[in-house]
Amino acid sequence: MRKGSTSIKWDDSRERWKLTVSKMASPTGERIRTFHSTKQAAQNEKRRIEDEQRKHGISGTLLAPDLAAEAAQAAELLKPYGVSLLAAAKRIVAEEKQKAKSCTFAELFDAYQCREGKQERREATVSNWRNTFNQYEPLFGNKRISEIKPAAIRKHMRNFTLSASGNHYRHLRSWFNYGVKQKWMSENPMSSIDAPEYQQSETRTLTNKQCRDLLNAAAKDWLEMLPYAALGLFAGIRPTEIRRMQWDDINMADRIITITSDTSKTRRRQPVKINDTLYEWLNLCAKDSGAIDDMPAKTWQRKWYACRESVGLYKSEAGKAGNKELWPHDAMRHTFASNHLAAFRNIAELQIEMRHTGNAQVLHDHYLNVITKKDALAFWKIVPSGAKTPKMIERVS
């Protein structure tokens, strides 16, 4: 079809009259194709479009010479991309409208905190958000979120460790998703950024001797630390959860622990069995009521470190005892899981005991064959002096 032309033809497939208007003849700068039940209706639409095009043409002749020259130059720049001047103008107008509705990065963070605050997020969670915001506020604080580009975020994330950038990625993705839902931005810039990939490190645990020494030291000199060590080593309860627990959550008679929704990391109420080994250690320190951790955080931390260091288990910070590997990351939970899987070979049971909601394959990959069955059986026999050998070990020995 010639440039600047229109045509009306019968379309057999649709059994309707087809009106086709070329780009040059279109008032929008885009090709138009419409279908009509009668030829007269198609002709009426054709006349309407021609009238509109003439109006645009008249307007065009009234353009100032410098503006007309700019329009011609803009059209030439857009030509290789197949985009009309009008289409480009509409796109820019849409972007400017989005920008006007947008908010700054700092305002987005405040709004997100306000919304999430209604869900009573834990102090540690809010603190982590604040740490991430502080790392990006100098760069994006007063910038409108609709103008923040993936390349700028990606470049800034390279300044941090893999672990830190992983946290930043999750936080930023959630904040920008909230911005999209509020229509403050059209898309999430994190969608164009790959999540940092973690290289799985070797699972490191405490040895049986280290566990025995730690428990005995706690029982002798730091009794308030004994439930923390015992629940971590023989129930695999997360350290932060233990410190939020109450003695009322531990039913020694029925041998069951209730991880309440207020205590649980996942905010779900979950039961944990008190196995024979754990029962013997809790018997030395159990109380009728009160908090398991009833002291200020700094006091608790000082005593826990002192208890560990008394048996050579120093903090995992560089320079302490000249060795930063003496207390592995998440040592007690990893020790529990590795010994449970090695002794009982039941991945489904371990998943329940650890309250792990993800893929069981993760537990398999992390904990299978980390410890030998012989050492695992010995681990579950670590009980206070004078206590009987746990029956659960007799069943698998």
Under CATH, which number does the domain 208-396 receive?
1.10.443.10
Alpha carbon distance 310, 350 (integer Å):
31
**Mean pLDDT on 219-224:** 94
387 — pLDDT class (breaks 50, 70, 90):
confident
For residue 321, the model assigns a pLDDT of 47
Q: Is the pLDDT of residue 337 over 80?
A: yes
How many C-beta atoms surround the C-beta of residue 2 within 10 A? 9
pLDDT digits (tens, 9 = 90+) for 32-70: 899 999 999 999 999 888 887 776 655 555 566 777 788
pLDDT digits (tens, 9 = 90+) for 106-118: 999 999 988 765 5
Q: Is the pLDDT of residue 395 over 50?
A: yes
Alpha carbon distance 51, 43 (integer Å):
12
Q: Is the pLDDT of residue 133 over 90?
A: yes
Domain ranges (residues) in the chain = 1-59, 105-192, 208-396
Percent of the chain past pLDDT 70, that is, above it, reads: 89
Q: Is the pLDDT of residue 396 over 80?
A: no
pLDDT digits (tens, 9 = 90+) for 277-295: 999 999 999 999 999 998 9
CATH superfamily placement of domain 105-192: Tyrosine recombinase, N-terminal domain (1.10.150.130)
325 — pLDDT class (breaks 50, 70, 90):
very low
Nearest by Cα to 352 from 177, 264, 235: 235
Amino acid at 116: E
The residue behind tokens 């398991």 is: 292
**Mean pLDDT on 88-110:** 81
